[in-house]
Structure 1
């Protein structure tokens, strides 16, 4: 891959034509229209919120006190409503999370206003989250997908990551990290100060680490540019571009029986072989085939212009491009008889018998990664009009045209079974060609998704204590699929269109200086994943997933204590799931209605002698309302808890901070989780204790400023546990009815990392 050309070309495009929804007013940042108001309290895990909806913010103070390499999603692990599970603590490997019973593919996530959910399947990947050192805050709206948020796959709720601003003074910030499993990370950020009216920074980082279980390692490089211009009249323009490139080995995810046999079970460290009729052949895969390379750029430029004293215009174009993928440790055989789709001439390949007879172990076996290339330009424009002293109207338009190209090429193996090239770019000459010079593909899709949204919001301060909000948006999405043919498919073009009017409303009443109550109701839509265009059966007719979110909340806020309590009820229809039919073909399944309901509690406060505390509790009942039919068998899923969703999550934190020394102990307790939808297999709950210590060195020299030494220890007591569900199943047991049989399928789980420590030294110059 020509990385220099790729990076420089996209950097130019990004700086010219991409933008984020980063807001430069001193009192707020937003994704959609969600304000942060008030000062961070205590440990920084909770701020005084003013929104008429459930909302939680983790400030930079709290971000810095958690493990330095954890990414922005990892750092939400103590936030109410959130259940975050990660493969490890490097911040670079995979993770999953649920929020109020919704999984990661149902929650809209933005980085400085850019939507970073995958445009096809809505998943979120750690490579898109940037360096945590460059984060100012991370916030969550637990149930409402804001009417102006740039999402088409959010059934409810937003997560927003907000970058730090460049400083007015020049200087540098340097951080060096060392940790368990040979973890090393170097981070440096250079601030230019004010040059010609622009404030800028450039940051660079390099990180490497071994896997904590099983063989393999991971490495990543990041570059971030941020440039801010602020005019005397309140106008501003901000340009942000973030580049990331990584290579790594994936973790194996065991079944329950595999975990019980070996708690550190992972991918084999060598090729597994068998002998048949005197010929030895590869019977299994190993860690070098579980590759996960990825390169991406997110870029943005936001302009905010005061047309008059009462009218503000914001224009926010953005551009995102990505190239990467991976394989979960499997290989694919390919021979002259493999052409089921009939579009290739494989006469240039040997037969399977000829491969067996040539005496070369890797003959006929290939690395077959799932590869995706994404180009995603978009723009949001909006007007904010203060029509009176008590009324504010917002009207705007969002448009995006995402293009995804997905393939599964065949790449030859080296003699030891490792791929000859882990980068499966579409112009890579190492991929297998047929007799006519065409690259052989096991999948070849191009999906174009034009999406647009028109929104109107009105905020009315009816009295000094009563605030009313009403909003509506019209969302229109088209999926245009071009199956260009593969070893298994004939070429075919398909399309589907989805549109819906989505209202939301809220009311907030300020009872007195400390107490306020709110009620919020909103409808959200999740457009079917792009799989619906290509899966078997009638998947193309899959309906959008719709949800109604209701929440009733109370907040008590003072200088010494903050408390919030929220009751919520989130009802889904047309819950979507991709699964396989009896012919082992992928299909989209409508599993009917699901209702998530529960309560979220959050508390923080100050204690004497510089001590502080924080606690959060979440109860989630995520109930399936229908039985599910699979392969002609009706499975008893009605009334069951959704797999992978714990009912109880409790976080308790005691901290100390006198301005020089700080420290905290945090207990993270998670209830049991079911691995299947029939609730016939589960993993037990667990509790993890984390330790954080820091020393802010008072004075070194006039050159070295704010030197700080930090120590983080996750899983301090080295608990052995399963942290969550990686892939669930309909049922882990066999079921039969009407002469049909559902074969048991074992769920797979994520193994919690052993004790992990990290030491960092940072300073400004």
Structure 2
């Protein structure tokens, strides 16, 4: 592939290829220019979209879009819109990203409608990765979970890119100790049009999607699109139906080659009737019984005084608004400004079921009378959060010479959240008067009776700078960069007996270096050293919570908790010739390793932070795509991972002998094999994935079994029919072999068996739990453009 680069300032990448694709940039700020010098400025140049990679106007799709040609000096993998649009219409972005090298994905749902979606990369989970959508942070700052299902619909996603082990220096991420996932949204079409598709599948799964593009409005240079989607499906076992309503909107204004502005807004309203996690013994028993795991799910019917796990008490609701306003301006031929203000609002209710004992009920550490007529009253316990984040990320790109590229920027973020529990008694049918806890039990002064009620706010001030020097006609690029994060959190606790005010301040410099060598047109070598950090999870680290039955502290706030910090090195090679090949050898050392697991606080499922000390991670990741032959495009990737604990784990006043043991949720081997077929109007894709067993305890005394899955997609593009353009029909089959398997660890435990600690204490074992994957599912999608 030959690239053409303009004079310093405005850059253009041109090639005689077929598939339009968004830019993919390097994490270290290294621009990618032509390997053989700088060409003259073309007559029509487009503004550079990203500081670390020239804009791609066309790029070759490898293996049907499962692989892209990369140039950044770190392990970077992407999925194009071509591959995304061939997956199931209701698939979540994380389900789609599961085919990327080294991604360990787990879910309890076939259609992306469950909040139990999670990925880990190189043994580091979702809370240890950075997440960006259209230049804005996408992470929920209370939990550090991304909830990518609330960002954008699949038909509007133009690219999903994963950077393993580090992040782009210019991206607004605070949790990227383990890597970064970047999602881009298509620009509105330059021509007026519309698109509609409808899907129907297993478990009464349905989805409808509609989008309208305005085209250019008059001669204003403005164009926009708006879309709406509704998805719904029953749980594959037990009671409950899940729904998701989603709206996307994007407007773009361009001023020829001098500036571009784009506004992206999305809204989601998501209800998930959650499935209960299984113990290993419970899963094995249900698997043997062949009862579709129905015996361990939440109860379908409510019997007063008997049912303690009624499914309606566990329906999760999340409402979300995301706004990103990206602006790019050429201030001079060699100077460009990028500025992105953003806004993120979220409202959540994560409820559960409990029982209120009138004679043993506490508000904080004070015993109170809840004022209920019965001595024992079943109730729904709420866990409500309302949060918003505002911020701006701004940077300049300056090219002092034709071989030097400088980035300097600043990111500011302000986040605020109120978390409050609450109790609403259940009626004789098991119903609660309000899903968001409006009618919760209150004290005479109006205070909400709860075991946790606090407000938190944080501020992030981050400065970053990166400089890249090109040598030997751009064959060699040397990059040095520095990020400096200043993080401050403060909160107040409304519960009697809890510290009223708490705060934490973290300052962390993060240097990085990289070198890449374009050996020839086919071979690229690179090496890098990066550092990243992640502050402690706010919701489960800083506030103090109480047990409402005993008045005792269940979670003591820890304002002195230190941030997780990672130091990583990579050596990589890329070859693009007779076949396409990427490989990266990696080494990473973490201090203050923090994991997040599910636990229950007064009956409501919440996240719990676990501090695991230091960790060493080593391994190799590779992917290979062969050239298309008779319409077939084979693809394979794999990862070998060795993740070891560097310290003994503190449990109570003793230590478990965990040093040298394998880290939890870190499978040694992951392999994905796929083949894409495109011939005339037909297209198909087959994907096989195998994930090795993974430990669920730090003592390595219980593990989740290895599993394998096979997914198949078939499609046909029909000829245009009158007003219908590009009509198509496709069938997506997931878990084709219909083999039951556990997909991820839900509750991590220190040890499953009774163990003697380093200092002689007998430490009781606790049973981990897991999420069961969905069985075979099928979904048919028909659609067309107008």
2:329 is aligned to 305
Alpha-carbon offset, residue 574 of structure 1 = 1.4
Alpha-carbon offset, residue 438 of structure 1 = 2.8
1:703-743 Cα offsets, whole Å, 9 max, x none, are 21111111110111111211221121111111234563322
Q: How far, CA to CA, are the matches of 1:739 and 1:505 in structure 2?
A: 46
1:542 is aligned to 2:542: no
Match of 2:508 among 483, 500, 504: 500
Counterparts of 1:527-606 in structure 2 under 5 Å?
Answer: 527-530=535-538, 531-535=540-544, 536=555, 539-558=558-577, 561-577=579-595, 590-606=611-627
1:248 is aligned to 272
Judge conservation of contact 1:348–1:435 (CA < 8 Å) in 2.
no
Q: How far, CA to CA, are the matches of 1:706 and 1:514 in structure 2?
A: 36
Please identify, of 623-632 and 198-207, the stretch whose mean Cα deviation from structure 2 is larger.
623-632
Q: How far, CA to CA, are the matches of 2:785 and 2:608 in structure 1?
A: 54
Match of 1:732 among 732, 740, 752: 752
Alpha-carbon offset, residue 29 of structure 1 = 5.5
1:473 is aligned to 2:483: yes
TM-score, L = length of structure 2: 0.87
Alpha-carbon offset, residue 521 of structure 1 = 0.8
1:317 is aligned to 341
1:461 is aligned to 2:470: yes
Specify whether residues 483 and 36 from structure 1 end up closer, same or farther in structure 2 by C-alpha distance, changes over 3 A only: farther
Please identify, of 640-649 and 178-187, the stretch whose mean Cα deviation from structure 2 is larger.
640-649
1:366 is aligned to 2:379: yes
Counterparts of 1:206-285 in structure 2 under 5 Å?
Answer: 206-263=230-287, 264-265=293-294, 266-270=296-300, 281-282=305-306, 284-285=308-309
1:291 is aligned to 315
1:318-350 Cα offsets, whole Å, 9 max, x none, are 0000001312x4324153652342679x55614
Counterparts of 1:347-426 in structure 2 under 5 Å?
Answer: 347=369, 349-350=371-372, 355-356=374-375, 364-424=377-437
Judge conservation of contact 2:121–2:178 (CA < 8 Å) in 1.
no
Alpha-carbon offset, residue 304 of structure 1 = 0.8
Q: How far, CA to CA, are the matches of 2:186 and 2:100 in structure 1?
A: 21
SS in structure 1 of the partner of residue 562 of structure 2 = coil
1:608 is aligned to 629
Q: How far, CA to CA, are the matches of 2:633 and 2:449 in structure 1?
A: 61
Alpha-carbon offset, residue 404 of structure 1 = 1.1
Match of 1:650 among 640, 663, 671: 671
Judge conservation of contact 1:631–1:741 (CA < 8 Å) in 2.
no
2:34 is aligned to none
1:81 is aligned to 102
Give structure 2 stretches of 5+ with no counterpart. Answer: 1-22, 26-44, 288-292, 545-554
2:14 is aligned to none
Counterparts of 1:677-716 in structure 2 under 5 Å?
Answer: 677-701=698-722, 703-716=723-736
1:445 is aligned to 2:469: no
SS in structure 2 of the partner of residue 105 of structure 1 = helix
Match of 2:518 among 510, 528, 539: 510
SS in structure 2 of the partner of residue 176 of structure 1 = strand
Equivalent residue pairs, number: 718
Match of 1:519 among 508, 520, 527: 527
Q: How far, CA to CA, are the matches of 1:570 and 1:542 in structure 2?
A: 22
2:7 is aligned to none
Match of 1:59 among 74, 80, 83: 80
Specify whether residues 711 and 290 from structure 1 end up closer, same or farther in structure 2 by C-alpha distance, changes over 3 A only: same
Judge conservation of contact 2:363–2:451 (CA < 8 Å) in 1.
no
Please identify, of 525-534 and 387-396, the stretch whose mean Cα deviation from structure 2 is larger.
525-534
Alpha-carbon offset, residue 457 of structure 1 = 0.8
Q: How far, CA to CA, are the matches of 1:493 and 1:200 in structure 2?
A: 46
Match of 1:338 among 330, 354, 361: 361
Alpha-carbon offset, residue 537 of structure 1 = 5.4
1:344-387 Cα offsets, whole Å, 9 max, x none, are 9x55614xxx614xxxxxx6222112211111001011111111
Q: How far, CA to CA, are the matches of 2:679 and 2:598 in structure 1?
A: 57
SS in structure 2 of the partner of residue 257 of structure 1 = helix
Judge conservation of contact 1:224–1:243 (CA < 8 Å) in 2.
yes
Q: How far, CA to CA, are the matches of 1:532 and 1:141 in structure 2?
A: 27
Specify whether residues 106 and 755 from structure 1 end up closer, same or farther in structure 2 by C-alpha distance, changes over 3 A only: same
Q: How far, CA to CA, are the matches of 1:233 and 1:131 in structure 2?
A: 29
Q: How far, CA to CA, are the matches of 2:301 and 2:659 in structure 1?
A: 43
SS in structure 1 of the partner of residue 215 of structure 2 = strand
Alpha-carbon offset, residue 236 of structure 1 = 0.8
Judge conservation of contact 1:147–1:504 (CA < 8 Å) in 2.
no
1:733-759 Cα offsets, whole Å, 9 max, x none, are 112345633221111111121111111
Q: How far, CA to CA, are the matches of 2:55 and 2:525 in structure 1?
A: 17
Judge conservation of contact 1:539–1:589 (CA < 8 Å) in 2.
no
Judge conservation of contact 1:289–1:331 (CA < 8 Å) in 2.
no
SS in structure 2 of the partner of residue 75 of structure 1 = helix
Alpha-carbon offset, residue 267 of structure 1 = 2.3
Specify whether residues 659 and 110 from structure 1 end up closer, same or farther in structure 2 by C-alpha distance, changes over 3 A only: farther
Q: How far, CA to CA, are the matches of 2:576 and 2:495 in structure 1?
A: 60
Q: How far, CA to CA, are the matches of 1:34 and 1:321 in structure 2?
A: 31
1:620-662 Cα offsets, whole Å, 9 max, x none, are 1111111212123432222221111211111111221024101
